[in-house]
Amino acid sequence: MKFNRLLPGLALHSPCAPRVPRVPRQPVSPKTVALEGPFEHRLLHTRGIRLHTAVAGDPKDPLVLLIHGTFGAWMDFQHVIAPLAEAGFYVAAVDMRGYGMSDKPPAQPGSDVLLALGDIDGVITALGHDTVHLVGHDTGGAMAWVYAAAHPHRVRSLTSISAAHPHDLRTHMLRRPWELMYMTVRVRVGLLPRGIIRASRRFIPTVWRRELTINTAPEFTGTPAFEEALDLRIRAARIDHALRGIVRNSRLLIPKLIELPDPSPKYTLDGPVHAPVLMLHPRQKVWERITQYSRRRAPNTQQMSIPGAKNVPHIEKPGAFVAALNSFLART
């Protein structure tokens, strides 16, 4: 009896059957997020790689460095760059290593934190400045906290957008894990094998829409501004080799912190922050509790919420975000 009569589809998988050639996936160019606007695109050469920044303002003015989170890229800040520059700052929104128009080299396991800190330091230097006002969202905010602790002489102020120092976030996760289950899942995803990560590319639109919906106010969801931000984020995630960096970046929420190699003085990444700190977050009890840890680390901390915005006020309410940031920076 011939098996292909019982299972006709089996013949398709026979070694003798002709194979359908696979069509290679066309890589997406980083230029897909090379937006035009009141800013200039610059590639900064630092530490052997090129990091993209969108800059505006007079280079002689104080530097404001905008650092995106896991699901974003430089264009998350596209609507706040020019207004901040008009207020008298030299503003740079960076694509972190592995994102957007920046280089995407393979990383060595366990080096994520030091690479991120080194890149932040390199960008500040490449822009011609010794000090900086750091503004970080999500994992960008977490690394801004660590950088401020490790390099107190370089940080003039820190603005933390829905973010906290990784040690403080880890402490809260251990004490009240049910309040931060979403972040815990994100960190676990960052540990998945590369094969699973590559296979998950087709889920990018669904996952990215869900993530932005969770982190924005209900009245913002579905608006043209929401759809624009979502489209840009999806395009950035589809850039060739970008997904690898995005997944790796999620580990920066609660990484294992180590001591810097310089023994004199021996700064620790888990040290105090002496610069003025503004914590921008929604009015939620979980952030009120996390802020208590932040105040112990940085006594000069103030908190603020922007009405009508949730976890990404620079996207949801860019005008109100700029006003809040300008008011804070004017007092530092």
Domain boundaries, the chain: 30-330
Q: Is 171 exposed, middle or buried (0-12, 13-18, 19+ CB in 10 A)?
A: middle
CA neighbours closer than 13 Å in the CB half-sphere of residue 3? 6
Cα-to-chain-centroid distance, residue 14:
47
Residue that wins the pLDDT comparison between 326 and 28: 326
CA distance 197 to 257: 25
CA distance 2 to 321: 71
pLDDT at 275 over 90: yes
User: Can you tell me whether residue 179 is helix, strand or coil?
Assistant: helix
pLDDT of residue 170: 83
N- to C-terminal Cα distance for the chain?
A: 85
* Nearest-10 crossing angle of helices 181-189, 166-175: 120
Tell me the pLDDT of the chain averaged across its residues.
85
Residue that wins the pLDDT comparison between 60 and 245: 60
Out of 24-33, 195-204, 244-253, 289-298, which region has the weakest mean confidence (pLDDT)? 195-204
Reported pTM: 0.87
**Cis previous bond, 265, omega within 30:** yes
The fold for domain 30-330 equals Rossmann fold (3.40.50)
Residue partners of 129: CB distance under 8 A and separation at least 6 = 63, 90
